[in-house]
């Protein structure tokens, strides 16, 4: 597996979002390695995207989004959940890609422990807060570099293996919602919804 370099992230956010499909996210927790293939993402950008946390400028909560691409941006929401993003583009630009679903690879037993009893394989990582819980991602991982230490993103040479579907994002209630959600069509771990456009 080849670690993605910072060059990968420091490109236009929509390009990075599409290219992340099929890549392998690796999280080292204690002595365990937890990993999964990315099957669903959403792009967020400071410019013209009212739903982005970075819209309206840099603040304490979103400051990692404004740093150079290649970091993990983790936020807390709904009083109980964490979600994780990959920061894109360059210092000063508030942009990131939300990881919405993974297909588990290594460390499934540990993911099951982290999620709690009674979960099916699909339920381990078929949503942004679920996958963070499965991988043990929380406040402490906000701002970490994807350098392959605690967290990393890899290309294992596998093609995405499915067509890419596009739709509006999930859970956004603004009037100007954008078709910035990308997913592998037919993958069991994709969280929900249907493509509003045919696949590309």
Chain contacts with DNA (rule: CB under 7 A): 42, 44, 51-54, 56, 59-61, 65, 75-81, 83, 85, 96, 98, 115, 119, 123, 127-130, 169-174, 191
CB of 47 to DNA, least distance (A): 13
Backbone angles phi, psi at 161, to 5 degrees: 80, 0
CB of 30 to DNA, least distance (A): 22
56 versus 140: smaller Cβ distance to DNA: 56
44/124 Cα distance (integer angstroms):
24
Q: Give me the residue label for tokens 């994002």.
A: 169
CB of 69 to DNA, least distance (A): 14
CB of 161 to DNA, least distance (A): 23
23 versus 169: smaller Cβ distance to DNA: 169
1 versus 63: smaller Cβ distance to DNA: 63
174/158 Cα distance (integer angstroms):
36
159 versus 173: smaller Cβ distance to DNA: 173
1 versus 172: smaller Cβ distance to DNA: 172
Secondary structure of the chain: what % helix, strand, coil (to 5)? Answer: 20, 30, 50
Residue by residue, DSSP assigns 30-80 as TTEEEEEEEEEEEEEESTT-TTSTTTT---TTTGGGGS-SSBEEEEEETTT
CB of 133 to DNA, least distance (A): 7
Give the count of beta carbons closer than 10 Å to the beta carbon of residue 198.
Answer: 9
């Amino acid at each position: 597996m080849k670690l993605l370099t910072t060059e990968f992230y420091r490109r236009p956010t929509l390009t990075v979002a599409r290219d992340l499909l099929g890549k392998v996210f690796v999280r080292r927790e204690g002595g365990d390695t937890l990993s999964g293939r990315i099957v669903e993402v959403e792009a967020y950008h400071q410019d013209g995207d009212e739903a982005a946390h970075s819209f309206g400028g840099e603040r304490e909560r979103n400051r990692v989004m404004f740093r150079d691409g290649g970091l993990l941006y983790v936020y807390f929401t709904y009083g109980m959940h964490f979600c994780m993003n990959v920061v894109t583009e360059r210092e000063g630009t508030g942009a990131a890609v939300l990881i919405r679903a993974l297909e588990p690879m290594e460390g499934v037993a540990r993911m099951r422990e982290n999620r709690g009893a009674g979960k099916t394989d699909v339920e381990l990582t078929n949503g942004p807060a679920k996958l963070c819980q499965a991988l043990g991602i929380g406040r402490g991982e906000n701002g970490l570099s994807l350098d392959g230490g605690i967290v990393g993103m890899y290309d294992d040479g596998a093609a995405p293996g499915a067509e890419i579907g596009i739709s509006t994002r999930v859970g956004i209630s603004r009037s100007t919602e954008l078709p910035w959600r990308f997913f592998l069509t037919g993958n069991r771990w994709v969280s929900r919804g249907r493509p509003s456009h045919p696949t590309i």
